[in-house]
Structure 1
Amino acid sequence: MHEDDSVRGGSTRRETIAYGGAIVGGGLLAGCLGADDPSSEPTDGTDGDSDEDGSYTAEISPVGEVTFESPPETVFTRLTHHADMAFALGRGDGINAMHAPEYYDGLWNQFVERLPGVSLDWSGLYSSWEVDKEKLYELDSDIHLADPAWVTQLSSWSRADVEEIADNVGPWFGNSLSDRHQEPPEEWADDYEYYGLWEQFELVAEAFREQERYEALAAVRGELLSTIESGLPPESERPTAVMITSADRELIWTYTLNNPGFLTAHTRPLGPRDAFDGAIESESAADFETLLEADPDVLLYLGGMLPDVDMAETRAWLESDPVASEITAVRNDRVYAQGARYQGPILNLFQLEMTAKQLFPEAFGEWPTYDDGPYPEIPEDERLFDRQRVADAINGDV
Structure 2
Amino acid sequence: MRRNTEAHRSPTRREYVKYGGTVLFGGLLAGCTGDSTSDAEPANAENQTQTAGTEPAATTAEGGSYTVSMSPVGEVTFESPPETVFTRLTHHADMAFALGRGDGVTAMHAPDYYDALWNQFVERLPGVSLDWSGLYSSWEPTKEKLYELDNDVHLADPASVFQLGSWSMADIEEIRDTISPWFGNSLSDRHQDPPTEWADRYQYYGLWEQFEKVAQAFKEEARFRALDSVRQEMLNTFADGLPAASERPTVVMVGASDLEQDIYAYTLDNPGFLTAHTRPLGPHDAFDGTVESGSTVDFETLLEADPDVMLFLGGMQPGTSMPDLRSTLESHPVGSEITAVKNGRLHPQGARYQGPILNLFQLEMTAKQLYPEQFGTWPTYEDGPYPEIPEDEQLFDRQRVADVINGNVGDE
Q: Same fold (TM over 0.5)?
A: yes
Query: Which one-letter code corresponds to 1:283 in the other structure?
Result: G
How has the CA–CA distance of structure 1 residues 246 and 378 changed in structure 2, closer, same or farther, with 3 Å as cutoff? Answer: closer
Contact 1:33–1:65 (CA under 8 A) maintained in structure 2: no
Aligned: 1:137 with 2:147: yes
Partner of 1:22: 24
The answer on 1:104 being equivalent to 2:114 is yes
Unpaired runs of 5+ residues, structure 2, are 1-21, 37-48
The one-letter code matched in structure 1 to 2:174 is E
Work out the CA distance in 2 between the residues paired with 1:187 and 1:361.
47
| Change over 3 Å in CA distance of 1:34–1:271 after alignment to 2 | closer
Q: Which runs of 5+ in 1 are unaligned?
A: 1-19
Q: State whether residues 52 and 225 of structure 2, in contact with CA within 8 Å, keep that contact through their aligned partners in structure 1.
A: no
1:384 alignment partner, SS class: coil
1:273 aligns with 2:284: yes
Query: 2:31, 2:201 within 8 Å by CA — same for their partners in 1?
Result: no
Q: C-alpha displacement at 1:34, in angstroms?
A: 6.9
Question: Does structure 2 retain, via aligned residues, the 8 Å contact 1:243–1:255?
Answer: yes
2:74 is the counterpart of 1:73 = no
Query: What SS is found at the alignment partner of 2:265?
Result: strand
The Cα shift of 1:280 comes to 1.5
In the superposition, relative to structure 1, how do residues 69 and 305 fare at CA in structure 2: closer, same or farther (>3 Å)? same
For 1:5-20, what aligned pairs fall within 5 Å after superposition? none
> What amino acid sits opposite 1:371 in the alignment?
E
Q: CA deviation at 1:53?
A: 1.1
Aligned counterpart in structure 2 of residue 175 of structure 1, from 173, 185, 191: 185
Which residue type is aligned with residue 351 of structure 2?
A: A
| Letter paired with 1:265 | A
Name 1:338's counterpart in structure 2.
Answer: 349
The whole-number CA distance in structure 1 between the counterparts of 2:348 and 2:109 is 22
Over 3 Å counting, the alpha-carbon distance change for 1:52 and 1:373 in structure 2 is: same
AA of the residue aligned to 2:277? H
Say if 1:240 and 1:297, in contact at 8 Å, map to a contact too: yes
Q: Specify the alignment match of 2:13 in structure 1.
A: none
Distance in 1, matches of 2:256 and 2:318, equals: 16
Among residues 211, 225, 245, which one is paired with 2:255 in the alignment? 245
Separation of aligned partners in 1, 2:265 and 2:205: 24
Query: Any conservation in 2 of the 1:245–1:303 contact (CA below 8 Å)?
Result: yes
Contact 2:58 2:217 in 1 (8 A): no
For residues 221 and 66 of structure 1, the distance between their equivalents in structure 2, rounded to whole angstroms, comes to: 28
Deviations 1:57-109 (A, max 9, x none): 11100000001110000000000000000000000010000000000000000
| Count of aligned pairs | 372
1:62 aligned residue: 72
Alignment of 1:361 onto 2:358: no
Please state how far the C-alpha of 1:323 moved relative to its aligned partner: 0.4
What pairs up with 1:159-170 in 2 under 5 angstroms?
A: 159-170=169-180
User: Is residue 2:266 matched to residue 1:255?
Assistant: yes
Is the CA contact 1:179–1:262 (under 8 Å) kept in the aligned structure 2?
Answer: yes
**Deviations 1:184-227 (CA, angstroms, capped at 9, x unpaired):** 00110101001000000001001111000000000000001110
Matched residue of 2:200: which SS? helix
Distance 1:305 1:32 in 2: 38
- Determine if the alignment matches structure 1 residue 154 to structure 2 residue 156: no
Q: Which residue of 1 aligns with 2:275?
A: 264
1:203 to 201, 206, 213: 213
Measured in 2, the distance between the counterparts of 1:241 and 1:256 equals 9
- Give the aligned partner of residue 8 of structure 1: none
Contact 2:30 2:72 in 1 (8 A): no
- Output the CA distance in 1 between the equivalents of 2:30 and 2:121: 39
Shift, 1:23, TM fit: 3.4
Which one-letter code corresponds to 1:151 in the other structure? V
SS in 2 for 1:378: coil
| Distance change in 2, residues 1:145/1:255 (3 Å) | same
TM-score by length of 2: 0.87
Q: What's the CA shift for 1:31?
A: 5.6
Q: CA deviation at 1:247?
A: 2.8
Distance 1:32 1:257, change over 3 A: closer
Give the conservation status (yes or no) of the 8 Å contact 2:188–2:206: yes
* Aligned ranges 1:272-291 → 2 under 5 Å: 272-291=283-302
Letter in 2 for 1:362: E
Inter-CA distance 280–30: structure 2 relative to 1 (3 Å threshold): closer
Match of 1:396 among 400, 404, 407: 407
- Note the alpha carbon deviations across 1:145-187, whole angstroms, 9 max, x for none: 0000000011210111111000000000000000011010011
1:131-150 CA deviation, whole Å, 9 max, x = no partner? Answer: 11000001000000000000
- Counterpart amino acid of 2:172? V
**Cα deviation 1:256-285 (Å, max 9, x = unaligned):** 111111000000000000101212221111
- Is the Cα contact below 8 Å between 2:255 and 2:263 reproduced in 1? yes
Greater than 3 Å deviation, 4+ residue runs: 29-36, 40-43
Is contact 1:238–1:272 with CA below 8 Å preserved after alignment? yes
Alignment correspondent of 2:204: 194
Q: How far is the alpha carbon of 1:314 from its aligned partner?
A: 1.2
How far apart are residue 246 of structure 1 and its match?
4.7
SS at match of 1:76: strand
Partner Cα distance (2:192, 2:252) in 1:
21
Contact 1:21–1:191 (8 Å) recurs in 2: no
Q: Report if the CA contact (8 A) 1:71-1:207 is conserved.
A: yes
1:307 and 2:307 correspond: no
Aligned match for 2:126, one of 116, 138, 163: 116
Partner of 1:383: 394
Q: Is the 8 A contact 1:101 1:125 kept in 2?
A: yes
Scaled by the length of structure 1, the TM-score of the pair is 0.90
CA distance in 1, matches of 2:52, 2:227: 16
Once the two structures are TM-superposed, the CA of residue 248 in structure 1 deviates from its matched residue by 3.0
Give distance in 2, aligned partners of 1:288 and 1:35. 44
Task: Give the alignment partner of residue 320 of structure 1, picking from 323, 331, 356.
Answer: 331
Deviation at 1:35, TM superposition (A): 4.2
1:93 is matched with which residue?
Answer: 103
SS of 1:105's partner is: helix
